[in-house]
């Protein structure tokens, strides 16, 4: 009789353990993880016009942006160039930006054509549509540098990017209105 | 004679510039000369008994107006065996 009770208890314990394992909830993603996932949804090729508020003569040019996930999902690579220009980053602007999670911080490093590397920390807006990056520090000469950036998701095929460049203590805002090409 | 002198001066200038380049710049310039697509076998040391060398592809390109060198590596899936593809 005792052995039957023990056996029954054992089955109950196994069943409870199995149920607990099935219902174990993965920890909720952190704010940084949510922001990174939002950014990774932008993977693809994008094109659209640039508007530079402080320099109207620079507005209207069409930009091409490539965003791709690499390093087994740990990194998002952003590459920017003027649409239609040859793929020669020694003669034409072609900055590369890397976005990744550094602990609990969504981090962006911009490998600037100016030769420096600003590091920014990103946060998702309360409406979940915009990831905004604030400057944390700069490696290299900070005389002219990228100071701020923001990515706003409109729908699966549209997003905007705002890049703020600091030139001689003057802020220059570039706005890209982008449509997905693939 | 004048053109020879000019060529000599140019070489001296280039040599002087090379000599005054900091070591980091020289090393970066050397690395940038690797730009291109590369293929080869990767071997780990010590080599595990159940593993063999793998074909890999490496792409190196200069970007950010020459300020950065981007290195990307992946397994050469086009020239890998089905078994190797499965391992990736």
Taking the CA of residue A91 and the nearest CA in chain B, the distance in Å comes to 6
**How far apart are alpha carbons B65 and A94 in whole angstroms?**
7
Q: Which residue has the higher pLDDT, B28 or B12?
A: B28
pLDDT given at position A26:
83
Q: Is residue A152 part of a domain?
A: yes
Q: Which chain A residue's Cα is nearest to B74?
A: A71
Q: What is the mean pLDDT of residues B41-70?
A: 87
- Percent of chain A at pLDDT exceeding 70: 87
SS3 string, B20-70, reads HCCHHHHHHHHHHCCCEEEEEEECCCCCCCCCCCEEEEEEEEEEHHHCEEE
CB–CB contacts below 8 A, A to B = 35
Q: Answer whether residue A20 is part of any domain.
A: no
- What's the gap in Å between the CA of B18 and the closest CA on chain A? 20
Are A115 and B70 in contact (CB < 8 Å)?
A: no
Question: Per the domain annotation, does A126 fall within a domain?
Answer: yes
Chain A residues whose CB is inside 8 A of the B64 CB are 89, 94-96, 111-113, 115
Total-model pTM: 0.78
* Partner B contacted by A115 (CB < 8 A): yes
Strand locations in chain A (E): 44-52, 62-70, 75-82, 96-102, 105-111, 117-124, 130-139, 144-155, 158-167, 170-180
Average the pLDDT over each of A20-34, A61-75, A101-115 and give the range with the smallest value. A20-34
Question: Distance between CA atoms of A43 and A35, rounded to whole angstroms?
Answer: 14
A12 min Cα distance to partner chain B (Å): 40
Residue A143 lies inside a defined structural domain of this protein: yes
Average pLDDT, chain B: 75
**Centroid of chain to Cα B68:** 13
- Chain A closest CA to B45's CA: distance in Å? 22
Please indicate, yes or no, if residue A167 is contained in any of the structural domains. Answer: yes
Name residues 88-107 of chain A within 8 A of B (Cβ). Answer: 89-90, 93-96
pLDDT value at A20 more than 70:
no
| A161 in any annotated domain | yes
Cα distance between residue B39 and residue B55, in whole Å: 7
Label each residue of A61-79 as H, E or C.
CEEEEEEEEEHHHCEEEEE
The reply to whether residue A111 touches residue B63, judged by beta carbons under 8 angstroms, is yes
Inter-chain residue contact A115 with B65, CB threshold 8 Å: yes
Query: Once rounded to an integer, what is the mean pLDDT over residues B34-54?
Result: 84
Mutate to test the interface with A, among B24, B61, B65, B70 (most CBs of A within 10 A): B65
Cα B71 to Cα A125: distance, rounded to the nearest angstrom: 33
Q: Domain for residue A5, yes or no?
A: no
B64 in contact with A at a CB cutoff of 8 Å? yes
Among residues A175, A118, A121, the alpha carbon closest in space to that of A152 is found at A175
| Separation between Cα atoms, residue B59 and residue B54, nearest integer Å | 16
Tell me the pLDDT tens digit for each residue of A35-58: 999 999 999 999 999 999 898 888
CATH assignment of the domain containing A93: 2.40.128.20
| Element (DSSP H or E) covering residue B71 | strand B68-75
Of B65, B70, B72, the CB nearest to A113: B65
Q: How many domains does chain A have?
A: 1
Segment B57-85, tens digit of pLDDT: 999 999 999 999 999 999 865 655 555 44
Cβ of A96 within 8 Å of Cβ of B68? The answer is: yes
Where in the sequence is the domain holding A100, given as residue range(s)?
29-180
pLDDT at position B7 is 46
Given a cut of 70, is residue A175 above it in pLDDT?
yes
The residue of chain A nearest to residue B88, with distances taken between CA atoms, is A72
Instruction: Evaluate whether residue A2 is within a structural domain.
Output: no
What's the whole-number average pLDDT of chain A?
A: 90
């Amino acid at each position: 009789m005792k052995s039957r009770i023990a056996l029954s208890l054992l089955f109950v314990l196994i069943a409870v353990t199995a149920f607990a394992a099935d219902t174990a909830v993965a920890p909720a993603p952190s704010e940084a993880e949510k922001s990174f996932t939002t950014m990774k949804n932008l993977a693809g090729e994008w094109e659209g016009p640039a508007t530079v508020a402080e320099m109207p003569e620079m507005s209207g040019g069409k930009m091409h942006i490539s965003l791709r996930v690499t390093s087994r999902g740990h990194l998002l690579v952003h590459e920017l160039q003027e649409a239609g220009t040859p793929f020669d980053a020694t003669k034409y602007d072609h900055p590369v930006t890397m976005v990744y999670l550094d602990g609990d911080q969504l981090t962006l490093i911009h490998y600037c054509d100016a030769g420096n590397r600003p590091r920014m920390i990103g946060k998702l807006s309360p409406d979940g549509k915009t990831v905004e990056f604030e400057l944390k520090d700069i490696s290299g000469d900070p005389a002219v540098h990228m100071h701020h950036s923001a990515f706003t998701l409109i729908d699966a095929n549209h997003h905007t990017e705002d890049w703020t460049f600091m030139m001689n203590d003057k802020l220059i805002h570039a706005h890209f209105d982008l449509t997905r090409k693939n | 004679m004048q053109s020879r002198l000019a060529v000599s001066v140019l070489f001296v200038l280039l040599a002087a510039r090379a000599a005054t380049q900091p070591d980091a710049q020289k090393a970066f310039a050397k690395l940038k000369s690797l730009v291109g697509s590369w293929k080869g076998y990767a071997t780990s040391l010590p080599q595990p008994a159940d593993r063999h060398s793998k074909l890999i592809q490496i792409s190196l390109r200069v970007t950010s107006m020459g300020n950065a060198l981007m290195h990307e590596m992946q397994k050469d899936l086009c020239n890998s065996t089905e078994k190797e593809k499965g391992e990736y």
